[in-house]
Amino acid sequence: DVKVTQSSRYLVKRTGEKVFLECVQDMDHENMFWYRQDPGLGLRLIYFSYDVKMKEKGDIPEGYSVSREKKERFSLILESASTNQTSMYLCASSPSPDRGGHSQPQHFGDGTRLSIL
Amino acid sequence: AQSVTQLGSHVSVSEGALVLLRCNYSSSVPPYLFWYVQYPNQGLQLLLKYTSAATLVKGINGFEAEFKKSETSFHLTKPSAHMSDAAEYFCAVRGDSGGYQKVTFGTGTKLQVIP
């Protein structure tokens, strides 16, 4: 069974701090994603990686960066945390399309609830 | 651009009643559609997916969804609600670029099941 593990369930940081959120998947998936989830807004894609050292901006990348040095690990970095980055952060992974070109479902971690004070 | 609209941010049903959660999509390419469920304090898990095969898709926990191209809809149903179905449900459509790996999620529908 696929497991996506996020390093912290709850995290409290202060404004201006540099914050690291870590995500590890154990199924050798090519693709990894970071989302933030806010009430009434659903999931919004922050960044996406389709290979080691490759990344692509999502819909709301401002204030965030990512790192993917190894295939199984995808880190989200808040360069200088601000209160409007208080949110639930979800990491996900998926394999590449199958031979028929069908997109594959994403597998999610349990989320990190981040509070910026 | 791809998008999904979920009608109703909150839906309440009685235990044993029909569950109907609505999703309409917009897609510039043949759509692949997904329904995910999120239980409290957990991540999302896949309920079912449509990938251009059968239009009626069966998923886990007794849920199913029907793809209707003419209505651009992919509504989720379950004949008889159970207390354990109380959760938030998200409809999603695959992206139209970048190898189709990205998906766009709806804003979610919270299902309440009343005993």
Residue A60 CA to residue A1 CA, distance in Å, equals 30
Q: What's the mean pLDDT in B84-109?
A: 85
Nearest CA in chain B to A5: B43
Residue A61 in contact with partner chain B when CB distance is under 8 A: no
Residue A92 in contact with partner chain B when CB distance is under 8 A: yes
- A71-97 pLDDT, tens digit per residue, is 999 999 999 999 999 999 999 999 887
Check residue A6 and give its pLDDT. Answer: 96
Determine whether the interchain pair B101/A110 forms a contact, defined as Cβ–Cβ distance below 8 Å.
no
Nearest CA in chain B to A46: B102
Determine whether the interchain pair B90/A105 forms a contact, defined as Cβ–Cβ distance below 8 Å.
no
Strand A107-108 with A31-38, pairing: unpaired
Residue B99 has pLDDT above 60, yes or no: no
Name the most confidently modeled range: A28-32, A56-60, A63-67, B23-27. A63-67
Determine whether the interchain pair B102/A110 forms a contact, defined as Cβ–Cβ distance below 8 Å.
no
Residue A102 has pLDDT above 90, yes or no: no
Q: What's the mean pLDDT in A9-23?
A: 97
Say which of A41, A90, A92 has its CB closest to residue B107: A41
- B28-39 pLDDT, tens digit per residue, is 777 889 999 999
Instruction: Report the percent of chain B where pLDDT is more than 70.
Output: 96
Interface test with B, best of A34, A106, A108 (most B CBs within 10 A): A106
Nearest CA in chain A to B46: A105
Helix and strand totals (H; E) in chain B = 0, 11
Nearest CA in chain B to A4: B43
Structure tokens at A9: 């369930």
Q: What's the mean pLDDT in B79-104?
A: 85
Strand B109-114 with B73-78, pairing: unpaired
Residue A96 in contact with partner chain B when CB distance is under 8 A: yes
- Burial code (b: 16+ CB inside 10 Å, e: under 16) for B15-47 equals eeeebebbbbbebeeebbbbbbbbeeeebbebb
Residue B96 has pLDDT above 70, yes or no: no
To the nearest whole angstrom, how far is the Cα of B50 from the nearest Cα of chain A?
10
Determine whether the interchain pair B94/A103 forms a contact, defined as Cβ–Cβ distance below 8 Å.
yes
- If we measure between CA atoms, which residue out of A48, A87, A90 comes closest to residue B38? A90
Residue A117 CA to residue A49 CA, distance in Å, equals 29
Q: What's the mean pLDDT in A31-57?
A: 93
Residue A61 has pLDDT above 60, yes or no: yes
Per the rule left: phi > 0, alpha: psi between -120 and 50, beta: everything else, A63 is: left
